[in-house]
Structure 1
Amino acid sequence: MTESATDEAPGLRERKRRRTRASVVSVARRLTLEHGLTGFTVEQLCDEVGISRRTFFNYFPSKEDAVLGHPDEGLPQAILDAFIDSGRTTPPQPLLDALADLFAAFGSRMAITREEYEAMSAVLHREPHLLVRMAARTESKSQLLTDLILEREGLPADSPEARVATFVLGGLARRSFDEFFAEGNPLSYGEVFRRNIDALRYLFPSPSPSPSPEAAGGLPVPENQDTA
């Protein structure tokens, strides 16, 4: 299953660059699964892909980065701006709804197959130390999301709400990836993520507003009036 979207079709040069990069990643992961990360050299990887060592380092700074793949290019600024602006409408869009839209937009731009996802999972199982490097990549994205929430909600920089939201939504995103790539899943990533957001709402429902005295069938009590 593949889910991807781009703003416009890439040119010939860009398509060739993407194919080369994808080949490097694919071969790097296969060699890692067959021999371990220390069981092959960059030169051997280049020979299999059919590129020079110089070309390799134009794409990746190290063998480990090739195995992990190229970092995501991120979301267009227009999508990030729309997330922030959604908190300034009248009434503002609820934060959970805005976050669901943001993650769905991210999912719509993914370009990874189930086979690639499974290969990456197998690599991390064999070479668990790569999780540290992957976590460093994730940290910058987490900080970006935290900053976006702070700006949208108008919260001070030391407010814990944005950090907690980032932590919880990050966990939902990872769980949604597993469900999205599960065998037989018919849903898009956005649909899977929204389903998990709905589960979060069920666990932590918003309190219902208290009815006014008039709505409850009574009359308002004038201020400073003795009710005895």
Structure 2
Amino acid sequence: MTTEGRRDRRKRQTRATLSLTALRMVAERGLDHVTVDEISEAAGVSPRTFFNYFPSKDEAIIGDQLVDGGRIVTRLAAVPPQVPPLAALRTALAEVLDEMQAHHDLWVLRMRVVECHPTLLPRLVSGGAQNERAIAAALATRLGLPPDHDHPALVSAVAGAALRVSMGQWVRSGGTRALTDLVDEAFAALAAGLPPPPAGT
């Protein structure tokens, strides 16, 4: 592994440690009873290091979005152009979904903390909307459509909704079903025009 690769890995580890520490402390004490200094001390870093990764305590709790728009855009560009938009997005999401599955406990804790502290929701929604716009712009380029065309925006929005619903199912099931399977089913339903589910399901 290169020096740059090791540096990137350490940064990801530090970021993940700060986010998990913040989540655990807030889950135990409540949002208003945890400070950046306390999070930093518990994570073994200085407050200055904390602010190198997150601009605020709330951002550390929210952590990485369900979809990192820039990362997905990069992977989307590598998918062959003949692949339909939804299938291309599913391919671009593969690595992110694998990482989420590997950190199931973290995502469960994050969702529970957000549910208990609704003031965090606007940040989560805002970040999701920004990501959807970035992905819509990439889809427009991929399809040769104007940046303001409705179709790429619609594809990005429904794909984001499918991911969020799948994530909720995954968390509620305790991870008994693979997140990738749930996302595959949701994307397949979208591609099929959202037919009604079979009776009894």
Q: TM-score over 0.5 for the alignment?
A: yes
Aligned partners of 1:107, 1:155: CA distance in 2, in Å?
28
**Partner of 1:187 in structure 2?**
178
Give the corresponding residue for 1:63.
57
Indicate which of 147, 163, 169 corresponds to 2:153: 163
Equivalent residues, number: 188
Identify which of structures 1 and 2 has the higher relative contact order when contacts are C-alpha pairs closer than 8 Å and 6+ apart: 1
Matches within 5 A, 1:23-62: 23-62=17-56
Question: Which amino acid counterpart does residue 141 of structure 1 have in structure 2?
Answer: N
Contact 2:141 2:147 in 1 (8 A): no
Q: Are residue 203 (structure 1) and residue 193 (structure 2) matched?
A: yes
1:163 deviation in Å? 1.5
Query: Per-residue deviation at 1:133?
Result: 0.8
How many Å separate the matches in 2 of 1:25 and 1:144? 24
RMSD, aligned CA: 2.6
Aligned-residue offset at 1:109: 4.8
Aligned 1:140-155 pairs, distance under 5 A: 140-155=130-145
Structure 2 unaligned residues grouped into runs of 5+: 196-201
Counterpart mapping for 1:103-182 below 5 A:
103-110=93-100, 112-181=102-171, 182=173
1:111, 1:184 → 2: CA distance? 8
Q: CA deviation at 1:184?
A: 5.2
Structure 1 alignment gaps of length 5 or more: 1-8, 87-91, 206-228
Match of 2:87 among 90, 97, 104: 97
User: Is it true that 1:80 corresponds to 2:76 in the alignment?
Assistant: yes
* Deviation at residue 70 of structure 1 after TM alignment: 4.3
Instruction: Provide the TM-score with structure 1 as the length reference.
Output: 0.71
The CA deviation at 1:195 is: 1.7
CA shift for structure 1 position 17 = 3.2
Letter of the 1:81 partner, please give it. Answer: A
* Distance (whole Å) between structure 1 residues aligned to residue 12 and residue 44 of structure 2: 15
Change in Cα spacing, 1:62 to 1:112, as seen in structure 2 (3 Å) is: farther
Deviation of residue 25 (structure 1)?
1.3
Amino acid at match of 2:57: K
- Per the TM alignment, residue 194 of structure 1 is displaced from its structure 2 partner at its CA by 2.1
Q: Is the Cα–Cα contact under 8 Å of residues 17 and 43 in structure 2 kept in the other structure?
A: yes
- Stretch deviating more after TM superposition (140-149 or 38-47): 38-47
For residues 118-165 of structure 1, the C-alpha deviation after alignment (integer angstroms, 9 at most, x for no partner) is 100111011111111112221221111111221122222332111211
**Contact 1:46 1:52 (C-alpha < 8 Å) held by counterparts:** yes
What secondary structure, in the 3-state scheme, does the structure 1 residue paired with 2:83 have?
coil
Equivalents in 1 of 2:60, 2:84: separation in Å?
Answer: 39
Give me the identity figure in percent: 29
User: Structure 1 residues 55 and 166 mapped into 2: Cα distance closer, same or farther (>3 Å)?
Assistant: same
In 2, the alpha carbon distance for the partners of 1:155 and 1:149 equals 8
| Alpha-carbon contact 1:103-1:193 (below 8 Å) kept | no
> SS of 1:74's equivalent?
helix
The structure having more radius of gyration, on CA atoms, is 1
